[in-house]
Amino acid sequence: MIFAIILSGLLAVSITALPRFSDQAMGEVLVIAPPWIDREAVIRAAGATPVGLPAAFATLAVIQRPSMAAAMRAQAPVFLLDLDTLRTLCGLKV
């Protein structure tokens, strides 16, 4: 139990230490949201394109215009993670 508390604290600190995803960025992003949010609808309403099959808490999307990230955040409580940051978190990029 104590190990789980320590681990969750370390995870929270490492996520908050990540650079904030810029609302002006474009390209592929991972859209993370609670399971009761229809991520694909949020992505399409922002004008972005969902890629592949959605997972339980995340969906890949392609942002073609800088305003799409801000539009997604305005519609629902979503966290956007660019693929370079995701690769760094997974240890695929140093």
Q: Per-residue pLDDT tens for 3-41?
A: 555 555 545 444 444 545 555 567 889 898 888 889 999
Q: Is the pLDDT of residue 55 over 90?
A: no
94 is a domain residue = no
52 is a domain residue = yes
Distance CA 65, CA 93 (A): 26
Distance CA 32, CA 56 (A): 9
Range of the domain at 45: 2-89
Tell me the CATH number at 55.
Answer: 3.30.70
Q: Which residue has the higher pLDDT, 90 or 2?
A: 90
pLDDT score, position 46:
92
* Cβ partners under 8 Å of residue 28, min gap 6: 51, 60, 61, 62, 63, 82, 83
Q: Average of pLDDT values for 71-91?
A: 84
Q: What is the 3-state secondary structure (H, E, C) of 28-49?
A: EEEEECCCCCCHHHHHHHCCCE
Q: Average of pLDDT values for 63-79?
A: 87
pTM greater than the 0.75 cutoff: no
15 burial type by CB count under 10 A (0-12 exposed, 13-18 middle, 19+ buried): exposed
Q: Average of pLDDT values for 50-70?
A: 88
